[in-house]
Amino acid sequence: MDVHTNIPLKNYLTMKLGGSARFMTTATTADELAEICRNARKQNLPFFILGGGSNVVARDEGYGGIVVRNRILGFEVVQDTAASVTIKVGAGENWDETVAKAVDMGLSGIEAMSAIPGTVGAAPVQNVGAYGQEIADTLVSLEAYDSLEDRFVTLENSDCGFAYRHSMFRGDQAGRYGILSVTLTLYKAAPTPPFYEAVQKYFDEHNITLYTPLAIREAVIAIRADKLPDPKLLPNTGSFFKNAIIEQWQLDDLKKTWPDIPSYDLGDKRAKVPTGWLIEKAGLKGQLLHGMRVHDKNALVLINESATSYADLAAARAEIIGKVRDMFRIQIEQEPLEI
């Protein structure tokens, strides 16, 4: 395998910012990925496994270790029953192409996550989700290289520490595992209502009453195309901020001032509040901050319009977080990983 030096990370990240990686290479097999990580540990060199670069931002100082581009491919059916099909997919496969294959097979479970950029292996890291589905709903297990114990392991769904846009892979075990493949169980039965509000609205507007995985995929692709900028045309990482999770008492208090604040009951006396709504109410939707444009159709998205450094992004982020905190007493959080 070839190892390259001093590689500009902005060429591999959809936000198009950041310094250089000291080293960069590509792994196409599990053994290659393990060898790279093993050698890095021996040299006390940090490593970062990169998928499509659509949910990662790089700091200006760059990355002093080795960035490993995961390109491990594969797609196979491992079990086919009367009600479901279980598939095993290589971590380097394109996520949306995988969704398309599943939909072509008539399978339901990931169709609402259509048009999300990135790779299959990145999906469990942040527990990717959209329009009422998330990867934790269908993931059975995943295969990974455990760099701490220098061995290949199989981790079950319950091992992964899944939560809203979170897993142990970006939490207390960040940097330990290199994901090699993901096994999902998808379903042959047609999806049934209730659907996510935006999807149902699309169905109603287009007089769609035959609910299939393809119908949902097409609806989601259309919705996303309308509200999310294409990172190939406008540099961005999709949703830059997570939706806010707050205590019920805090929501009750906010409703005294903001009776129209939208929220979703999560149980356990907690609620999710759309961060895009908070940013919009703070007067920032559509604003240009330090070269970063708050998207005028979806305030969760930051577009790199003229920023030239991570410092610009950090300044825009701090301004947005500060204004939301000052107005609502809610501390919003960044979604993309940083290297």
Rounded CA-CA distance 234/15 in Å is 8
Which is catalytic among the residues 165, 170, 217, 317?
165
Q: Is 335 assigned a catalytic role?
A: yes
Q: Is 84 assigned a catalytic role?
A: no
Listed in order, strand segments (DSSP E) in the chain are 4-8, 20-27, 47-50, 56-57, 63-70, 75-80, 84-90, 129-130, 133-134, 139-146, 151-156, 177-187, 236-239, 244-247, 264-267, 270-273, 288-289, 292-294, 301-304, 337-338
Task: Judge whether 99 and 224 are in contact, CB under 8 Å.
Answer: no
Which is catalytic among the residues 54, 239, 293, 317?
239
Helix, strand, coil content of the chain in percent (nearest 5):
30, 30, 40
Q: Is 239 assigned a catalytic role?
A: yes
229 cis-preceded (ω within 30 degrees of 0): no
Please, is 35 exposed, middle or buried when counting C-beta atoms within 10 Å of its C-beta (0-12, 13-18, 19+)? middle
Give the distance, in angstroms, between the CA of residue 157 and the centroid of all CA atoms in the same chain. 17
Rounded CA-CA distance 267/133 in Å is 18
Task: Judge whether 72 and 30 are in contact, CB under 8 Å.
Answer: yes
In sequence order, the β-bridge partners of residue 227 are: none
Rounded CA-CA distance 60/26 in Å is 23
Parallel/antiparallel/unpaired status of strands 264-267 and 139-146: unpaired
Phi first, then psi, for residue 118 (nearest 5°) are: 115, -170
Rounded CA-CA distance 69/52 in Å is 8
Please, is 48 exposed, middle or buried when counting C-beta atoms within 10 Å of its C-beta (0-12, 13-18, 19+)? buried
Active-site positions read 165, 239, 335
